[in-house]
Amino acid sequence: MIPPVASHDRTAARFLAAAVYLVLAGGVSAHAQGHLKAHYRISMIGVTIGYVRWSVEIGDSAYATTASGKAGGIFSVLFSGEGAVKTEGAVANGHLSPSSFAFRINDEDGKSEFLVSFADGVARMRTSREVEPSENRVPITEKDRHGVMDPLSAVLIPGMTGVDTLAPENCARVLKIFDGRRRYDLALSFIRVDRVKLAGSYAGPVLVCRVILKPVAGYRPDSKLVKYVAGRSDMELWFAPIDGTAVLAPLRVAMPTLLGTLKIQAEQFDSAAASPPPPTANSEMPSR
């Protein structure tokens, strides 16, 4: 029998549940264009407990990405509910710059909605509706809102200039994330280059990075589950390239929990380079 989770630990569970919904950018070539459609299965010790669907569109001057997910079943004491997120932003100076981030979750604690705007790397709350009270959390300071990205943009990582997309150097980074409620860092480091083969979908190399969760603000300091996960060095993020861009997207996540390893594994990971626009009537003809 699975033991019940205390109320303050359910808050930490929501912290991880949000990560589940969001796992599904740094920088790209200024003229890179491509899109991704992915479907992920969430499992615990081999038992399916949910799914995530993710869509990414990267254009020449703008990008948009959406994700939705649901979790429950036998492990609903830890992960239960459904959520949806959306990010829009600009492609400028070789970087993805988010302008807005919307997050909605409906779980056992009720409905919560957040709408955050970004300007020059500074996050500002535009709308916040949540059932759970905000007391007993580490307060978010003005400094915590600077130099951050939303979760969706942050986990689309860019290949560094002058190196291969799957080079070990691309794991050497810290993702500074603000999701409207919590501020945390994901510190990445290189583990290995591996290969995967998904039936009827992506087959090829993947970049495997170690990821360490570092809570900064907005979390409950007495949460046992956050204490258990934060600082661990046995979590992994697997990244595969999005065709037509220099961006890597998550293909697999493995993280420890009190009951075993939680996995978020892509069953479908289809990306393609966007077709160039047709020439206009005013386009210059090539010289003979």
Instruction: Give alpha helix (H) positions in 23-155.
Output: 151-154
Instruction: Considering only CA atoms, give the Rg of the chain.
Output: 19
Q: What is the pLDDT of residues 170-202, one digit of tens each?
A: 999 999 999 888 899 999 999 999 999 998 899
The answer to whether the beta carbons of residues 54 and 24 sit under 8 Å apart is yes
> Is 103 inside any structural domain?
yes
DSSP 87-132: EEEEEETTEEEEEEEEEEEEETTEEEEEEEEEETTEEEEEEEEESS
Separation between Cα atoms, residue 155 and residue 263, nearest integer Å: 16
- Note the pLDDT of residue 125: 83
pLDDT (tens digit, 9 = 90+) per residue, 51-99? Answer: 999 999 988 888 999 999 887 654 444 455 788 999 999 877 657 889 9
Q: Is residue 17 part of a domain?
A: no
CA distance 121 to 92: 13
Whether 48 maps to a domain, the answer reads yes
Q: Which domain holds residue 94?
A: 28-268
Say yes or no to pLDDT of 272 above 80: yes
What is the model's pLDDT at position 188?
97
Identify whether 15 is part of a domain.
Answer: no
> Which pTM value belongs to this model?
0.80
Look at residue 14 and tell me if it is in a domain: no
Q: Which amino acid is at 89?
A: G
264 within domain boundaries? yes
**Residue 75 domain flag:** yes
Does a structural domain hold residue 67? yes
Q: Report the domain count for the chain.
A: 1
